[in-house]
Each structure stands twice: as C-alpha cells, then as structure tokens.
Amino acid sequence: MTLSGKDMSNRLLFLFLTFCVNLFSVSHAADIKNNNLIISGSKAINLDNWELVDVPPKLIQTKVPENIFAVVGGQMRVVGEINPDTGFYAYSPNGDYNALQFGNDFAYVKNTQISKKKPRNIPEDDRLNDLKNPVYDYLITSQKTPVYSATDENSRQIASLWENLRYPVLARMIKTDEDGDKTSWLTIRIGDRLGYVRLDDVAIDKGIPILTYHHVLKDSENKNFRHTSTTTSVEAFREQMNYLKEMGYQTLSLDDVEGYLNKSANLPGRAVVLTFDDGLKSVYRYALPILRENQQQATLFVISSRIKTQPQKWDPDSLQFMSKQEIKESQDVFHIQSHTHFLHRLDNRNNPIIFSRKEHTIMLDFKRSMKALAKFERDQRYLAYPFGAYNQTAIEAAKEAGLHIAVSTIQGKVKLGDNPYALKRLYAYSTDPISKFALMVGNSEQDVVNKNVVVDK
C-alpha cells in the first residue's frame, strides 16, 4: 500500500503521539532501541513499517528485595518492593530498566538488579483466566502492605505495596480455615501474575472527592454574600488548603480523574480535586496566592462569554470576572476548562435555560466555549454544567462536543463506574470545622455532605 505525503504525516504523528504517551509513563526510564524496534513498556514501534506492536514479556527475578518505581498521580515515586526468587513478567529486558505491569500502568526496576538465574517461584497457570477479570474496585494502602502468592498468610510473600496507593482489585473472596475463622482476601495483578492482599491490611476506596468553590472573600469585606453558601471566606479557605498540604493530600487534575475512571492511571490514596466555577476575580485575588504557596493545582471552570478584556478595579460588593491577562497569569495553578458560553443563565421561571434548549444548540454553545478557552489551554475536555443543571440532552450534547468529563453539583465522591458526564462534587462551607472537612475529603464510610447549598444566581 502506498501512502500519500499527508497520510504518511498523519500516521507518523499518530504513532509519535501514541509513543509519547508511553514515554510519559516511563519518565526517567531509558528508551531501548533493539534492532528495528524502539521499545517502551509493553509497546514498540517497528521501524520497518512504523506499526505499533506488542512486545512479548520475559520472566525475571531480582537478586535481593528491590524497590520498584511508578508514576502515581503524575509523579514518579517508589511504589513497592518485589521479592527475590519470585518470577514476574517484564518488558524491555535489554534496557536500563525493566517495565512490569503495576496497577493500571507500569512500574520500573533497575536492570542491574535482575538475576540471570531462572526464577524459582514462577507464576502458576491462570487456568480460570483470573488475570483477565475486569477491575471492579480499588484498594487503598495506609502502610507497607504484603502481597501473598495465595490466600494464605503462610504462603510466600511475593511483593509489598507502599503506603498511600490506590490499587485496582480484580476480585474479593472469603476463605474459611480449619478452625472456622474467616479471612477476606482481595485479588490483584502485579507483574502480570496474581497476588493476594488481606482486606484487613487495606481499605476499600470510597471515591475521590472533587471540591467545589465559587467566590472567595475576606470576612471583613463580605457585605452582600454572607448568606450565599458558595462564598468561602479567605480564612476558611486557607485553613482547608493548609490541612490538605499538612496531611499529604495530592491535588489531582481532571486528567487524573479520567485515568481513574478509565483504569489507565495510578493514583495516590490521599487525593483530592479542587474546582472553581465561573472564573471570578476574587479567586484570582485570594485563592490563587494560597494555592501557589502550597504548590496545589486546581481546575478553573470559566464562563467564556464573561471574560473581561481588561482587569477590573477590585470591588468586593459585586461579582467580578477575571480578565484575559488574569487567566493567563493563573495558569501555573489552574487548568482552564469550560463552564459554557451563553448557557449560564436562568429563564423567566428562574430555571436554568439549558433545560429548555435542544441538543444541537447546547452542543454549539459547548463548542463555542471550548474554542474560546483553547486560547488559554488547547486541550478542552472537561465541563462544569451551568448551575450544575443537566439532563440526558445535555449529556448527549457534551459527548457530541467531544468532552470527556462533565461535573454536576450533586454531592458525593467520584467512584469507579460513575457516569463520566454526571460526576458528583462536594461543597465545604466556611463554617465547617476542620474536623468535618477532614471527614469530607477522607476515605470515610459515608459521604459527608452539606445540604441546602445556596448558590448566588
């Protein structure tokens, strides 16, 4: 088959971008050029025909207990330890690092630590195809957690998971011993072999909290918005953000949330997403410096039709919107995404106008907003519905516009299996004690929510 110049360019671009996604996961692990293949993880580009091909795994074992590294929430860190004399399947065995399946992605171990001997304990045959079971949940580690070769505490410990990880679970089972005592076990996949974790050693993931903020004001200057529950005091906001930092919470992007839902990214156990709706000047004035100081990231959902050409003189008595310059200056902290263009309005009956619009009209508004905001951030994939209002028509419009995620104002955490176009969020009041905020963002058994949220319209 002969490809035109344009087709060849498009194909090479596709392969390059696909390959770069893999390389991002590899981070400092070296690319390996092996004859006519360029290898990264379990994928390679065949230089003869530029096809993306699978690389067969090789059974490896380490000489001693060895740390493994992986990208978690966009950061490379130590994620566990694999034990010697235990066979794991790895990729790119001729490079500086070996890549082995870890959670939703890969972990890496130094090639110098790989034994040349044949592994004594090789993975058992997966006769029941358990390795192909879909991920149905996540576990969260809070300490170094042993991974066993069987559902028995006396079985061989093949690996350990480090603390502060969300790890995908394939199955859950209860085993009864000879004395009648029952132990719950979780089945996981690591290095393309089955491993087993005691449920008592971990927690089941209760979901990722996405916090919602709108307006931020000093108590001393707040005259008109005291009874609007979506207005947060500077003092309360600083206390909440400082708590997240002190307790080791990582602020995630919506890219991370998408990877969590798609089972394509590894995330930390202590994680939270920060979102700000509307694009108000008060957020630029007060929230931005606090986030910047704490090295925390957030998503700013901007009503694109209300962006100001020039910065406005500060007036705490009114709702002011950020200017182009202010948005650009905030992009070291904020990911700029859409809060619609003209749809953030109410009709004569005080209902969001999105409910009375046809799918095509809604889609055009979404795309108009995405186009306007692409001047700040090219990759426009996420949306906050106006006033949190949506229906099936709005969901279909979001899909048609090419959006990947849409968030609402329905309260709760984001859990595996949730509809990505109807994700829940949480509101923290200024009056909430930090103990309540801690329960809200923590992995608590029940969602801690604030009811009767009053949004300024």
Confidence label for 445 from pLDDT (cuts 50, 70 and 90)? confident
Say what the pLDDT of residue 385 is: 98
10-19, 119-128, 222-231, 339-348: which range is least confident on average?
10-19
Name the CATH superfamily for 210-441: Glycoside hydrolase/deacetylase (3.20.20.370)
Say what the pLDDT of residue 452 is: 75
List Cα–Cα distances, 422 to 368, 394, 411, 419, 451, in angstroms: 21, 10, 11, 5, 19
Say what the pLDDT of residue 127 is: 61
Q: Which has the higher per-residue pLDDT, 429 or 44?
A: 429
The residues, any chain, with a CB within 8 Å of residue 40's CB and separated by 6 or more, are 19, 22, 23, 26, 31, 32, 92, 99
Task: List where CATH 3.20.20.370 sits in the chain.
Answer: 210-441
Task: List where CATH 2.30.30.40 sits in the chain.
Answer: 130-204
Beta strand extents in 142-206 (DSSP E only) = 145-148, 157-161, 165-169, 171-176, 182-190, 193-198, 203-204
- Per-chain mean pLDDT for the chain: 89
Confidence label for 177 from pLDDT (cuts 50, 70 and 90)? confident
Q: Measured between alpha carbons, how far is 54 from 241 in angstroms, rounded to an integer?
A: 44
Say what the pLDDT of residue 47 is: 52
- As given in the structure block, the two tokens for residue 124 are 């058992």
pLDDT-above-90 percentage for the chain? 75
Q: Which has the higher per-residue pLDDT, 167 or 444?
A: 167
**Do 119 and 87 meet the contact criterion of CB atoms below 8 Å apart?**
yes
- As given in the structure block, the two tokens for residue 401 are 């516009």
Q: Quick one: average pLDDT of 452-456?
A: 65
> Would you state the CATH architecture of domain 130-204?
Roll (2.30)
Tokens 């109807």 found at: 422
Confidence label for 383 from pLDDT (cuts 50, 70 and 90)? very high
Q: Quick one: average pLDDT of 348-369?
A: 97
17-31, 268-282, 365-379: which range is least confident on average?
17-31
Helix, strand counts (H, E) of the chain: 9, 28
pLDDT in tens, 236-262: 999 999 999 999 999 999 999 999 999
**Do 183 and 201 meet the contact criterion of CB atoms below 8 Å apart?**
no
Say what the pLDDT of residue 224 is: 94
Say what the pLDDT of residue 106 is: 95
Q: Quick one: average pLDDT of 358-385?
A: 98
- Does residue 24 carry a pLDDT above 70? no
Residue 115 has a CB neighbour count (10 Å cut-off) of: 14
pLDDT in tens, 51-97: 655 778 889 999 999 999 999 999 999 999 999 989 999 987 556 88
Q: Measured between alpha carbons, how far is 109 from 259 in angstroms, rounded to an integer?
A: 23
Q: Measured between alpha carbons, how far is 418 from 11 in angstroms, rounded to an integer?
A: 34
Confidence label for 132 from pLDDT (cuts 50, 70 and 90)? confident
- Does residue 30 carry a pLDDT above 70? no
- Does residue 46 carry a pLDDT above 60? no
Confidence label for 131 from pLDDT (cuts 50, 70 and 90)? confident
> Residue ranges of the alpha helices (H) in 162-287?
234-246, 254-262, 281-282
Q: Measured between alpha carbons, how far is 165 from 80 in angstroms, rounded to an integer?
A: 10
Q: Measured between alpha carbons, how far is 427 from 169 in angstroms, rounded to an integer?
A: 29
Pairing between β-strand 105-110 and β-strand 137-141 as defined by DSSP bridges: unpaired
Sign of CA dihedral 219, 223, 226, 230: negative
Say what the pLDDT of residue 94 is: 57
The number of C-alpha atoms within 13 Å of 415 and in the hemisphere containing its C-beta is 14
